[in-house]
Structure 1
């Protein structure tokens, strides 16, 4: 009798889970419809299959305003894209990919010793540029864009994107300087309700017109793919943009202070090599297997070059184009901010440290009341690790004209 009850309970579990998913989807669609009256941009999308990381086989993607398609497999060795020195393609050209694993690596001793968690990454590390699912080439063509806000996100984090759009990612013009925003996404990971999630993100993009999406799975190890695919995208479509802020969807950005910093660098004529943030120097790979940032010795066994915390950093358009060129000759690395540090090292440059970028929070002790003190946010540029609700609340407080903060004075 007990076993029969368990079977019935298991039988009920699946429809209950399905109902929960339908209800969650309904709620998100309702939220998006409420916001639709303020949205802009319409996107034409493709409906194509994707087999995931097991085979890395991709079908042709149909992307609005993308007129070039190729039947030549695109691989990560750079053969699918013309180099900057030879002229950059006019449109996104990575349309068809059949990227099989590099079987020759399996015969090497270091690979046999490698932690199995890194096998798929290493076997497909040569897969670099991917078809675009959602594209907005018009984003940078609407006159001169002074600052492009580029935000790493995942499909499920709709509430974070909404909070960013209502706060520091709001597109507007300040003293004649245009600020535009883009979110970078991959595809839903295997095991999730892929079709429904994709339909939701298409609908969100139809409203706002601010999402770039590529056909690779949105996993931690694939964050570096967002870096290199964005750098190539920027090099194709954004010749008129002057500066880029790149960050996560859980940060607070004081746009007023960010624009002031840019103004100072322009006055000092230091914008050409501008790459500034919360610099981490003399770091070494983490060997703790329980850490999210664990790297085995077989993959990398030397100190890291100086790099900035990926929560938020600022760079000039000139620097972004130089990073694109050197990135094509570097092997991909599973930690995206370290990879950019490797690109800078190849340029014989180092990121500039700025105390206004706090990618580890105001204090590293999460229980510290300082992390919720609005006057600190008013004086800083970037603060990491806020929920969507915390971001909205802190934004309204910091930009309240009645907020009075003590000012430092010197005698």
Structure 2
């Protein structure tokens, strides 16, 4: 039955993907002056149904966004799929809470992560909990994906869906709401990992070499690949465009690259407090850096070369000395994981 169900899921997703492609093509011809739906928050599940009746010409929310809109934060975005007891259990609070950023349609990618680096029982001796953080699909596809997500969540119990559209420009909101969930339902987690879904993660290296379970408490700890002396891109043609109206300065403060960074639970609470006092920008990693700057903090360097922001050809011993590699797609992850788990006695000790 599971096999049949997965075939049905994939069939539905392929239909959705085709419809999405058609939608994006239509969007190219839509009047660019139409108000964008990119940042419309949803107060309740009932509002999802209402969006299905909007004219097609309004579905330019991702195709044509000529200028970044104002992000609403703080704002009472609802948790539509939630697991408030995720961190409860007889063994106590998690050592590491993984918040994996994912899109609603990424069913296969989430399953691959569950079977590889997202396995909560992979690293013995510490408690790890995993949640996939996602927003809402485009309104046109809400009905198609809603039942699939409900079924996936019933089977795995690890989806955290927040009530705003899942778009690149809403990524900062997605991260902040994931951190808010931690503050509300998992405040005693020692560390929190914010990670994208297109990465290879080495949980053993991350836990033992970076986080060091037997080490002293580090209340202001945050690490990852650290960007320094970088500045905003002012050309609207680029994905990381930053208009002066949102950020006037010529350089960003030091920050950890968005594909994956880890921070202490106590620092999460401080960042959330500061975030409510700053102008929120849609580059989430830069925004976290701005929060750190406001607190007089900077990221702590990780073991040299352990967080890679670009793909790297797989080599068993090399990958065992890394915490994270960005740009690893689902099929590649599944291909290398089996070999990665095998013991290689030739590899030098860390």
TM-score, normalised with respect to structure 1: 0.68
Q: Deviations over 1:208-243 (max 9, x none)?
A: 000100110001110010122122211111123111
Separation of aligned partners in 2, 1:140 and 1:57: 27
Q: In structure 2, the residue corresponding to 1:221 is in which secondary structure?
A: helix
Partner of 2:223: 276
256 and 318 in structure 1: CA distance in 2 versus 1, 3 angstrom threshold = same
Partner of 1:39: none
Separation of aligned partners in 1, 2:292 and 2:130: 25
Partner of 1:26: 8
291 and 57 in structure 1: CA distance in 2 versus 1, 3 angstrom threshold = closer
386 and 275 in structure 1: CA distance in 2 versus 1, 3 angstrom threshold = same
Query: Which is bigger in relative contact order (C-alpha 8 A, separation at least 6)?
Result: 2
Q: Tell me, yes or no, if structure 1 residue 298 matches structure 2 residue 240.
A: no
- The answer to whether the Cα contact below 8 Å between 2:191 and 2:264 also exists between their aligned partners in 1 is yes
Partner of 2:316: 374
Q: Deviations over 1:196-217 (max 9, x none)?
A: 1122111111110001001100
- The answer to whether the Cα contact below 8 Å between 2:253 and 2:290 also exists between their aligned partners in 1 is yes
**1:202 pairs with 142, 150, 155, which one?**
150
TM-score, normalised with respect to structure 2: 0.79
176 and 234 in structure 1: CA distance in 2 versus 1, 3 angstrom threshold = same
Q: In structure 2, the residue corresponding to 1:278 is in which secondary structure?
A: strand
- The answer to whether the Cα contact below 8 Å between 1:309 and 1:359 also exists between their aligned partners in 2 is no
246 and 56 in structure 1: CA distance in 2 versus 1, 3 angstrom threshold = closer
Partner of 1:189: 138
Q: Deviations over 1:260-294 (max 9, x none)?
A: 13553752x35211100000011100123221101
Q: In structure 2, the residue corresponding to 1:352 is in which secondary structure?
A: coil
Tell me how far 1:309 sits from its aligned partner: 0.5
Q: Tell me, yes or no, if structure 1 residue 240 matches structure 2 residue 188.
A: yes
Tell me how far 1:186 sits from its aligned partner: 0.3
Comparing 157-166 and 256-265, the one that deviates more: 256-265
Q: Tell me, yes or no, if structure 1 residue 133 matches structure 2 residue 75.
A: no
322 and 157 in structure 1: CA distance in 2 versus 1, 3 angstrom threshold = same
Partner of 1:60: 44
- The answer to whether the Cα contact below 8 Å between 2:12 and 2:144 also exists between their aligned partners in 1 is no
Q: Deviations over 1:119-153 (max 9, x none)?
A: 5x22x545633011101111111232111111000
- The answer to whether the Cα contact below 8 Å between 2:271 and 2:292 also exists between their aligned partners in 1 is yes
397 and 348 in structure 1: CA distance in 2 versus 1, 3 angstrom threshold = same
Separation of aligned partners in 2, 1:57 and 1:152: 18
Q: CA RMSD in A?
A: 2.8
Q: In terms of Rg, which structure is larger? A: 1
Separation of aligned partners in 2, 1:54 and 1:278: 29
Q: Unmatched 5+ residue regions in structure 1?
A: 1-22, 32-50, 63-114, 363-369
60 and 25 in structure 1: CA distance in 2 versus 1, 3 angstrom threshold = farther
Partner of 2:49: none
Tell me how far 1:250 sits from its aligned partner: 0.9
Q: Tell me, yes or no, if structure 1 residue 221 matches structure 2 residue 169.
A: yes
**1:341 pairs with 289, 295, 317, which one?**
289
Separation of aligned partners in 2, 1:178 and 1:279: 27
Q: In structure 2, the residue corresponding to 1:379 is in which secondary structure?
A: coil
318 and 332 in structure 1: CA distance in 2 versus 1, 3 angstrom threshold = same
**1:405 pairs with 343, 347, 350, which one?**
347
**2:300 pairs with 352, 375, 393, which one?**
352
Q: How many residues align?
A: 304
Partner of 2:203: 255
Q: Unmatched 5+ residue regions in structure 2?
A: 14-34, 47-63
183 and 312 in structure 1: CA distance in 2 versus 1, 3 angstrom threshold = same
Q: In structure 1, the residue corresponding to 2:80 is in which secondary structure?
A: strand
336 and 359 in structure 1: CA distance in 2 versus 1, 3 angstrom threshold = farther
Q: Deviations over 1:48-96 (max 9, x none)?
A: xxx982793635349xxxxxxxxxxxxxxxxxxxxxxxxxxxxxxxxxx
